[in-house]
Structure 1
Amino acid sequence: MQMAIIAEKIRMLQEMSDLFKSGQTPEAWSEELSVHGVHVSPRLIRTKARETGHFHKLGRLMLLTPAQMERLLESTSGEREITKRNLP
């Protein structure tokens, strides 16, 4: 039991370290994606992150890691497929 608690604390510390090393705001992700020709507004990123729960919040600051952005994109790719199928 004690080892499980220690392992969980270590995992949380590693996650926080990743957050500070690679976490970015929705505005920064929007800019980074636009460089690659993908135009997504910070507002849309923020909305989808809240809907899926894939984000960290520090006070009023929202940060997303690359892994969270990947999960966010994966979770919204199914919506696009459904929309495309329903089009005439």
Structure 2
Amino acid sequence: MKPQERIERMQNLLARGQTPEAWSDTLKSHGVHVSPRLVRSKARETGQFFQMGRLMLLTPEQVESLFDTRSAILAEGHRTGHALQ
């Protein structure tokens, strides 16, 4: 990856990435009640996050994939239950 591409990727991450706590608040404002702990654990489970030290950031696409991953698992019949328990 070229230096300019790295800079653009980092700028995008910093502009759009949010912590699990921020995503929990954002989702809650849309009527989806999930804890930061759940967001963090699903992100780790699927590998959909960026991390530096203790800081975890997720982009909108990564959060969307947390929903998609669970839906795909349910569609395949591997698990039953409520989405994002």
> What TM-score do the two structures reach when normalised by structure 1?
0.76
Match of 2:37 in 1: 43
Over the aligned positions, Cα root-mean-square deviation in angstroms equals 1.7
Provide the C-alpha distance between the structure 2 equivalents of 1:79 and 1:65, rounded to a whole number of angstroms. 22
> What TM-score do the two structures reach when normalised by structure 2?
0.78
TM alignment of 1:1-80, pairs within 5 A: 5-6=1-2, 9-80=3-74
Structure with greater helix percent? 1
Mark the structure with the bigger radius of gyration. Answer: 1
Does the residue aligned with 1:57 lie in a helix, a strand or coil?
Answer: strand
Unpaired runs of at least 5, structure 1: none
Q: How many residues are aligned here?
A: 78
Which structure 1 residue ranges, 4+ long, deviate > 4 Å from structure 2? none
Provide the C-alpha distance between the structure 1 equivalents of 2:9 and 2:39, rounded to a whole number of angstroms. 21
Unpaired runs of at least 5, structure 2: none
Q: Identity over the aligned pairs, expressed in percent?
A: 53
